[in-house]
């Protein structure tokens, strides 16, 4: 039987999609694999590709701040991405980050699905639309449906939130926090749900559906 570390090691040489051609490092994920909460982002950017670590650039710094504002950090949650290699457009010679394509997302499920299978989180927080479309439903609408509990194949429930890179762009065009308070609130909701589900399990009761999970939190 494969261990979590063996799965991680195997991913580091993956050639299953075109993103392997230009990557520096595969970014498998990091944090606490025993955590009841997993955050799943979109994919590595330039800094993540360089370091092999998720969310270490500007967006990552904002995510860290939102975790800190909730009394959390990377030792308390697990953080990974929808695709493990950087997606960029190289047509001008200089890489410009782009969203992962559907076939790349599908190919990388060969790592994400067993990764989530090992961790067995109570709650998944999808960071940004590509993650929510992959793990919750194809037609997920991030601005309308963020912060709500959904059924998920890989956890008791999943919630989606705004991507910190989107928030950083909004901060520049608007005179408000760009949605940062929503990110903080969604992390709080996800963590509270995870804690409640751990407690429930300790007490011997296990809500099995997202609806039953929802009734735990006065939805
Ligand atoms: N954006 C993501 O979605 N993931 C990262 O790891 C970094 C930036
Ligand atoms: Fe493999 Fe995923 Fe990287 Fe594609 S993005 S090469 S599937 S690890």
DSSP symbols for 74-102:
TTTSEEEESSSS--EE-TTSS-EE-PPPH
Rounded Cα distance, 105 and 94, in Å? 23
The half-sphere exposure of 129 on its side-chain side, counting CA atoms within 13 A, is 13
Closest ligand 2 atom to the C-alpha of 107? Answer: 7
Ligand 2 pocket test target in 10, 13, 27, 84 with most atoms within 8 Å of CB: 84
Distance 6 CA to ligand 1 centre (A): 23
Q: Give pLDDT tens digits for 82-119.
A: 999 999 999 998 999 999 999 999 999 999 999 999 99
Residues 5-30, mean pLDDT to the nearest whole number: 98
The candidate with the shortest Cα–Cα distance to 191, out of 62, 85, 16, 39, is 39
Closest ligand 2 atom to the C-alpha of 110? Answer: 7
Q: Is the pLDDT of residue 42 over 80?
A: yes
Residue closest by Cα to atom 7 of ligand 1: 55
* Domain extents in the chain: 4-217
* Fold of domain 4-217: Uracil-DNA Glycosylase, subunit E (3.40.470)
Q: Is the pLDDT of residue 219 over 50?
A: no
Beta bridge partners of 155: 152
Residue closest by Cα to atom 3 of ligand 2: 85
| Ligand that lies nearest to the alpha carbon of residue 18, given by its number in the listed order | 2
Q: Is the pLDDT of residue 141 over 60?
A: yes
| Ligand that lies nearest to the alpha carbon of residue 42, given by its number in the listed order | 1
pTM (predicted TM-score): 0.95
């Amino acid at each position: 039987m494969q261990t979590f570390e063996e799965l991680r090691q195997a991913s580091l040489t993956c050639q299953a999609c075109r993103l392997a051609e230009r990557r520096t490092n595969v970014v498998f994920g990091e944090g606490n694999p025993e955590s009841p909460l997993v955050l799943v982002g979109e994919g590595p950017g330039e800094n993540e590709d360089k370091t092999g670590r998720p969310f270490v650039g500007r967006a990552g710094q904002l995510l860290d701040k939102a975790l800190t504002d909730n009394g959390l950090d990377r030792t308390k949650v697990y953080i990974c991405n929808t695709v493990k290699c950087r997606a960029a457009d190289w047509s001008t010679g200089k890489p410009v980050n782009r969203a992962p394509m559907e076939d790349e997302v599908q190919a990388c499920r060969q790592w994400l699905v067993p990764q989530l299978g090992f961790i067995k989180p109570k709650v998944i927080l999808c960071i940004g639309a590509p993650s929510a479309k992959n793990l919750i439903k194809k037609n997920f609408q991030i601005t309308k449906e963020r912060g709500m509990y959904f059924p998920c194949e890989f956890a008791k429930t999943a919630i989606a939130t705004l991507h910190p890179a989107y928030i950083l762009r909004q901060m520049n065009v608007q005179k408000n926090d760009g949605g940062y308070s929503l990110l903080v609130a969604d992390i709080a909701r996800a963590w509270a749900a995870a804690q409640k589900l751990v407690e429930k399990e300790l007490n011997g009761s296990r809500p099995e559906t997202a609806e039953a999970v929802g009734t735990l939190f006065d939805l």
